[in-house]
């Protein structure tokens, strides 16, 4: 297979384009860019910096990938952006390279959908099957697990963790960590419950969902201290990998506090 480059596109010497890559009108591809097989740049796409893009990605007009971090400490260091396979990156979406202080790498997984004007900040690590709805924004150093959905116009504060299968409602301002399978809403966001719709869509069994609901009620009940409830939940549901994923997420060292319910569960 050959590479297709529109006559109006600019592809720098040194860029590496695999078989089947298509570079559309008025695109700009930098000299340190690597693009995997069958990836398509529609038109007016800018890919710069030390950016590696995997296979079969579809990148739409005016997306900018690999731009410098929006951070005053960045002084032009050769940091990186890595994007996986089979993503759809829509118009005006932006993904920045990392910073030296943050490890030098922004990493985006595979099979994601990044809608219009969504943003992945420097040093973020984003899992697979993630959806950022229109104008959703990730500050620097955010960690998103697999199957996370971030609603339209929602913003996730820098250094915040969002566990796998969590749902963030539209317009939410997320300044605290979100447990796996959780659903949060509001400004500032609070935990509303579990992401039951997402769990059902992804084929989690009724038994698993009921176990998660029981664990959630125990973990966020009014009785005792939170630490006591955490240990009770860990003992009671030790055989559930999904519940233990929540427990381990909470126990892990974190720079942000935990997003909690506003009311009784």
- What is the C-alpha separation between 51 and 29, in angstroms, rounded? 10
- What is the C-alpha separation between 62 and 42, in angstroms, rounded? 9
Q: Is the pLDDT score of 263 beyond 90?
A: no
Tell me if 4-141 shares its fold with 200-251: no
**Structure confidence by residue, pLDDT tens digits, 72-122:** 999 999 999 999 999 999 999 999 999 999 999 999 999 999 999 999 999
Report yes or no: 145 and 128 within 8 Å, Cβ to Cβ.
no
Within 8 A by CB and 6+ apart from 239, the residues are none
Predicted confidence at residue 20, as pLDDT, reads: 98
Beta strands in 112-244 (DSSP E): 113-114, 119-120, 125-126, 131-132, 137-138, 143-144, 149-150, 155-156, 161-162, 167-168, 173-174, 182-185, 190-194
Predicted confidence at residue 59, as pLDDT, reads: 99
- Concatenated DSSP letters of 182-198: EEEETBTTEEEEE-HHH
Q: How is domain 4-141 classified at the architecture level of CATH?
A: 3 Solenoid (2.160)
Residue 264's pLDDT band (cuts 50, 70, 90): low
Q: Where are the domains of the chain?
A: 4-141, 200-251
Report yes or no: 210 and 216 within 8 Å, Cβ to Cβ.
no
Predicted confidence at residue 125, as pLDDT, reads: 98
Backbone angle region of 238, left / alpha / beta, with phi > 0 → left and psi within -120 to 50 → alpha: alpha
- Say which residue the tokens 């950016």 belong to: 51
Predicted confidence at residue 1, as pLDDT, reads: 65
**Structure confidence by residue, pLDDT tens digits, 175-226:** 999 999 999 999 999 999 999 999 999 999 999 999 999 999 999 999 999 9
Kindly list the catalytic residues. Answer: 122-123, 140
| Residue 72 CA, distance from chain mean position | 23
Q: Is the pLDDT score of 21 beyond 90?
A: yes
CATH tag, 200-251 = 1.20.1180
Q: Is the pLDDT score of 265 beyond 60?
A: no
């Amino acid at each position: 297979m050959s590479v297709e480059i529109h006559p109006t596109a600019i592809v720098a010497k040194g860029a590496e384009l695999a078989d089947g890559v298509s570079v559309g009108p008025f695109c700009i591809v930098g000299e340190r860019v690597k693009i995997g097989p069958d990836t398509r740049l529609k038109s007016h796409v800018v890919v710069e910096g030390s950016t590696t893009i995997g296979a079969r990605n579809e990148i739409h007009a005016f997306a900018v990938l690999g731009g410098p971090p929006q951070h005053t400490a960045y002084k032009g260091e050769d940091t990186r952006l890595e994007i996986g396979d089979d993503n759809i990156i829509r118009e005006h979406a932006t993904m920045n390279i990392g910073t030296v202080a943050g490890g030098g790498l922004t990493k985006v997984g595979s099979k994601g959908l990044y809608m219009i004007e969504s943003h992945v900040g420097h040093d973020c690590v984003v899992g697979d099957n993630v959806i950022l709805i229109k104008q959703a924004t990730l500050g620097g150093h955010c960690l998103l697990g697999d199957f996370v959905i971030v609603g339209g116009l929602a913003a996730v504060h820098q250094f915040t963790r969002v566990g796998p299968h969590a749902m963030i409602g539209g317009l939410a301002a997320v300044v605290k960590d979100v447990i796996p399978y959780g659903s949060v809403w509001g400004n500032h966001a609070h935990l509303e419950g579990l992401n039951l719709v997402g769990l059902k869509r992804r084929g989690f069994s009724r038994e698993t969902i009921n176990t998660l609901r029981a664990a959630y009620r125990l973990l966020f009940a009014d009785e005792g201290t939170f630490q006591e409830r955490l240990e009770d939940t860990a003992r009671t549901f030790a055989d559930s990998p999904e519940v233990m994923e929540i427990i381990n997420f909470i126990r892990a060292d974190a720079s942000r506090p935990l997003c909690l319910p506003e009311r009784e569960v």
